Amino acid sequence: MQVAVRHLGKGAVFRFHCHRQLPCFNACCGNLSQALTPYDILRLKNHLHLSSGEFLRRYTLIRTGPATGLPIVSLRFDMHNGGLCPFVGAKGCKVYPDRPGSCRLYPLARGASFKSGAKPEEHWALIREPHCLGHQATKVQTIEQWVADQELEDYIYFNDLMLDILRLQNKLGRKPMAGQQRDDFISTLYDLDNFRAKANSCPWPGEFDFETRLGKAKSNDNALLELALDWVKLVMGGMDHEP
């Protein structure tokens, strides 16, 4: 059986249940090409009590996305250990409460398109891989139930803010980011501890109420990430672009 992808319309239900008693338990936690979003890294580095810089050094690889020209930060799998995820253990995921959004989403895939205005139109699909036995379950759920069960709301929120940056890059038709611009993009969005330190010591433009937001971001990581995302958009030159 090959990988099958089935479109799921609004209100669709799907049959799936993943649990420890399945013979395939942990079979999906290796040999992946798993991109991490800035929000994934924020959650993971806090879970591991690491600085964002240390997390990036220990656990990630950075390359340039061929389609967008933007840096892509991926989880570095352990090639000395069968290509396993660095966070998988005999009892399952060792970072489960703060696992990445893609791990929560699976076996679903989500796309978003933006026609006009702020709210994206969502597109959902069910991925069925031969090794994954969760599809044999009798448990049935809606997409909305899966999103709630997997606590995906914040992941989706920040994912869509990142999509805004991808859209901006496409709209501007920019070449692949390189040099200082690439370093700044990574250190602002993915190395949030670095961004916080820098933000506290540099003068800010008057626009977008950055000073007030920075005050809130001192004790609120999500607010800090929102600020970083807006800052990157401002630097890319399109803060008030049309959708």
**Which residues lie near ligand SF4 (CB under 6 A)?**
18, 22, 24-25, 27-29, 85, 87-88, 93, 95, 99-100, 103, 106, 131-134
Helical ranges in 29-94 per DSSP H: 38-47, 52-59
Do 123 and 3 contact (CB within 8 A), yes or no?
A: no
Rounded (10°) angle between helices 221-236 and 153-172: 10
Nearest Cα to Cα of residue 189 among 239, 150, 233, 135:
233
- Nearest-approach distance from CB 100 to ligand SF4, in angstroms: 6
Token look-up 């008057």 returns 206
Nearer to ligand SF4, 78 or 183 (CB): 78
Nearer to ligand SF4, 133 or 223 (CB): 133
- Nearest-approach distance from CB 15 to ligand SF4, in angstroms: 12
Nearer to ligand SF4, 78 or 211 (CB): 78
- Nearest-approach distance from CB 159 to ligand SF4, in angstroms: 16
CA angle centred on 157, ends 156 and 158, rounded to 5°: 95
- Nearest-approach distance from CB 73 to ligand SF4, in angstroms: 14
Do 186 and 62 contact (CB within 8 A), yes or no?
A: yes
Task: State residue 78 phi and psi, 5-degree precision.
Answer: -85, 95
Do 70 and 169 contact (CB within 8 A), yes or no?
A: yes
- Nearest-approach distance from CB 173 to ligand SF4, in angstroms: 35
Nearer to ligand SF4, 24 or 197 (CB): 24
Nearer to ligand SF4, 95 or 223 (CB): 95
Token look-up 């909305």 returns 144
What whole-number distance in Å separates Cα of residue 49 and Cα of residue 42? 11
- Nearest-approach distance from CB 27 to ligand SF4, in angstroms: 5
What whole-number distance in Å separates Cα of residue 219 and Cα of residue 210? 15
Nearer to ligand SF4, 27 or 62 (CB): 27
> How many Å separate Cα 3 from the centre of its chain?
23
